Chain A
Amino acid sequence: MSAHTESYAPVFVGKRKDELAALLTRYPTKMAGLLPALWMVQQDRGWVSEQAMTEVASVLELTPAYVKGVVSFYTMYHQHPVGRHFIQVCTTSPCLCNGADKVVNAFLEHTGCKELGITSADGKYTVIEVECLGACGFSTPVQINADTIENVTPDKVPVILAGLK
């Protein structure tokens, strides 16, 4: 078990600790706070490290192995650091038949990401394909961090990237 190391600063202190405590009053079990707690970790740290899983486990009275089992089930929790702009292109059937594969290629080309899932050398971008974003009538939807952009076509990609901070 990877215990807290000196370099690890806990997430659930001060305001975050209170926030989680308030949230837990909604549920009859502490375990139900797991997904929300992991979201808080990811929001603050950008990803969910093993140390963070250990911290969450101790806060919610779970085991680190249990927490890791849950983290690894869900695709949205990052188990590795990702680019500052995490770009998810929907390529499920309705988007694929409207050219989502070309949108993926345009993002790879313009971000300098060599492969899907591999962060660009400058640490700015990670591009992945995602399964159905639930915006099929606006193909191709692209999610960049928390924002969904509708009706993306390859020619719009440079403008979208230029607009990112």
Chain B
Amino acid sequence: MGYPQKSHPRETPVLSKHFGEGESRSLDGWKKRGGYKALELALQMTPAQIVDIVKASGLRGRGGAGFPTGVKWSFMKPGDGKPHYLLCNADESEPGTFKDREIMRWTPHALVEGCAIGAYAIGAETSFIYIRGEFQEPIDRMEAALKEAYAANILGKNAMGTGKTINVYVHKGAGAYICGEETALMESLEGKRGNPRIKPPFPAVSGAFGQPTTINNVETLVAVPHILVNGAEWYKAMCLSNPKSTGTKLFSVCGNISKPGNYEIVLGFPFKDFLYDLCGGPTAGRRFKAIIPGGASVPIQTVEEAEATLMDYEGFVAQGTMLGSGGVIVFDDTQSIPRQVARLTRFFAHESCGQCTQCREGTSWTTRILDRIVAGNGTYEDLDTLLEMAENMTGKTICVLSDSCAAPVVSGLQKFRHEFEALITGKRSSMVAGGSQTTAAGRKLTAGASA
């Protein structure tokens, strides 16, 4: 449901059905809502049976990459004599995305259950939920749920009385966007700087602590209990467009929009209806200018592209962007695209781990050039330099942070070049209706806690 907005009749709340209900946080409240039935079922099956059901459901990773979850799980070989690990990626830091936060705040037991089932399915006795350090309330909610689950013998050495060992622990991050990248998350869990690893080896071969590891997003794992209880066919039937995109997906909506919030829809839903009907369209007197539909890492869409999009993995690609994390950032006609692009690249420059030259230098210089353009001191050559650098930043580094920084620059210049040119020729006032031009973000940090 559109938390904090009221549920919209065109939503299909499965994962978000209990957002906003305080009672759903406790073990009793969760059991009343059908909680832990799926885990009970799962522990009576073989791991391979669970993997097959998840495969058949068509569930794909909800963190951004969209890899089929059942296939990912099938890379793990239970019984190979090695310790396996299930990692839950709860390092939600992609600008525009705030769905996992609400899942953990309102339905922490759903994630405990998802982790327990996932761990069992891949032959792991231990699962770590890596939660970003800023999420203190979600961390507290998860810790409280885990405490209850251990006390009720749902977890532990004799999980639900089956003799199987399933441990689930919270591991708190400490402020680094890059730790949401799966191999950086593993490094961080191991007590290291969050530098992404070169792949291969892939996590299923050598992941956390050098052991076979699977890493799944929060939203992916909480979908699994529903699939086990209702069946793969039920899940697969939730599909409005491409059969490769099944089930429901949470979209976080923010920026210049009437009703910001988390909305859950069946994949394939028309983006136009989503933006205007569910989310209430632009605020009074304004119109949309640009939309970033999948978190800050995906290309910017024009309104025309967005309105023609069907909301699934293939639908967003067909309209020049990606589904990503489902973090929808909306800019209206008061916003300057160059200023917003500069702010996005500043984010990536701040979060670059610095291992790869293209990223370390590229994110920083891209930001400096964009700041210069926004300040009215840019040149036409700067635009060419930005695109040249973007090319060097794409597909050439260990992880995709560098590519993510290039995405808004390239798409911004492709689709809104006139705004950049207007700043260069000094016609700034013609394209921004009222928006403030001072950027607090441009301030220099002098001391204190920032790295």
Residues of chain A at the chain B interface (Cβ within 8 Å): 26-29, 31-36, 38-39, 47, 60, 69-70, 72-80, 82, 86, 88, 91-94, 96-102, 104-105, 115-119, 126, 128-139, 143, 146-148
Contact = CB atoms under 8 A, between A and B. Distances in A.
Contacts of B450: 75, 117, 128
A36 B449 contact: no
Contact of B174 (A38, A115, A135): A38
A93 B343 contact: yes
18 contacts: A29-B191, A32-B191, A35-B172, A39-B172, A74-B194, A75-B449, A77-B174, A82-B448, A116-B444, A116-B446, A132-B94, A134-B135, A135-B98, A136-B98, A137-B98, A137-B262, A138-B4, A143-B134
Given A70-B191, A97-B255, A131 B350 contact: yes
Contact of B451 (A39, A72, A119, A148): A72
Given A82-B449, A116-B443, A31 B191 contact: yes
A97 B335 contact: yes
Contacts of B172: 35-36, 39
B428 interface: no
B103 to A, nearest CB: 12
Contacts of B101: 134-135
A101 B191 contact: no
A32 B211 CA distance: 14
Contacts of B97: 134, 136
Interface residues of B, number: 70
A148 B137 CA distance: 8
B396 interface: no
B350 A118 contact: no
Contact of A98 (B94, B193, B256, B351): B256
A118 B448 contact: yes
The dominant DSSP class at the B interface is loop
B252 A136 contact: yes
Contact of A118 (B176, B335, B447): B447
Interface string B206-237: 00010000000000000000000000000000
Contact of B343 (A86, A96, A133, A134): A96
B46 interface: no
A94 B254 contact: yes
B179 to A, nearest CB: 9
Contacts of B438: 101
Given A75-B174, A75-B451, A146-B136, 14 more contacts: A32-B190, A39-B133, A39-B172, A70-B191, A78-B448, A94-B95, A97-B340, A101-B441, A128-B448, A128-B449, A131-B93, A132-B177, A137-B98, A139-B260
Nearest to B169: A26
Contacts of A86: 449
Q: Which of A27, A75, A116, A136 has the most chain B CB atoms closer than 10 A to its own CB?
A: A136
B151 interface: no
B189 interface: yes
B190 A29 contact: yes
Nearest to B102: A137
Nearest to A47: B449
A98 B137 CA distance: 24
B449 A93 contact: no
Contacts of A60: 191
Interface in B428-451: 436, 438-441, 443-451
A97 B449 contact: no
A91 B440 contact: yes
A91 B441 contact: yes
A148 B169 CA distance: 23
A137 B252 contact: yes
A134 B93 CA distance: 6
B248 interface: no
Contacts of B135: 134
Nearest to A133: B134
A76 B260 contact: no
B449 A80 contact: yes
Given A29-B209, A126-B449, A136-B95, A73 B343 contact: no
A134 B131 CA distance: 12
A28 B98 CA distance: 32
B329 interface: yes
A128 B209 CA distance: 35
Contact of B351 (A33, A119, A131, A137): A131
Contact of B439 (A31, A73, A98, A101): A101
Interface string B143-179: 0000000000000000000000001010111111100
Contacts of B94: 132
Contacts of B133: 39, 74, 76
Contacts of A78: 448-449
B192 interface: yes
Contact of B329 (A26, A35, A94, A117): A94
A76 B93 CA distance: 14
Please list the 3 inter-chain residue pairs (A to B) with the smallest Cβ-Cβ separation, ordered nearest first: A101-B440, A34-B191, A76-B175
A93 B329 contact: yes
B254 to A, nearest CB: 4
Given A118-B447, A137-B98, A137-B253, A96 B441 contact: yes
A40 B97 CA distance: 29
A100 to B, nearest CB: 7
